[in-house]
Amino acid sequence: MLEYWIFEKDIYSTFTNYDNPFTKAKIHKIFDPEMSVYGICMGVVNNQLMALLTEEEGPKIQLWNLDDGFIHQETNINEFERPGPYKVNEVDEAEGCVFDDSNLTVFVSEKVKR
């Protein structure tokens, strides 16, 4: 299970005025990706908060809509074409990721089999 909290705009006051800013009484959401998560990156797509999760020691990635708490898409990074020297099925696992909100693009780093 993964949890995330939604804080007030003045996040400094949240962390200085509360003994435990991560209490369940705060606005938070829980979701279950049903995989061991290695990396998470977030971005805004069409005014919706999205998160991309990469699998620990595996090629799976998941795209979640955090506004509604549902998985939007799941895929295996071995299904993508690569412009570089590596061929399909040579990738061992997905690693980190970065959202480029303005270009609606996600970059996922990958570990190649050696």
Closest CA to 60 of 43, 42, 37, 30: 37
Strands (E), the chain: 2-5, 28-31, 37-45, 48-55, 60-65, 70-76, 91-100, 105-112
Whole-model pTM over 0.85: no
Phi-psi region of 2 (alpha: psi -120 to 50; beta: other; left: phi over 0): beta
pLDDT in tens, 51-109: 999 999 888 999 999 888 788 888 887 777 666 665 655 667 888 899 998 898 888 88
- The pLDDT, as a whole number, for residue 112 is 72
**What is the tens place of the pLDDT at every residue in 22-39?**
776 677 788 889 999 999
Give the pLDDT score at 63: 92
| Adjacent-strand bridge partners of 30 | 3
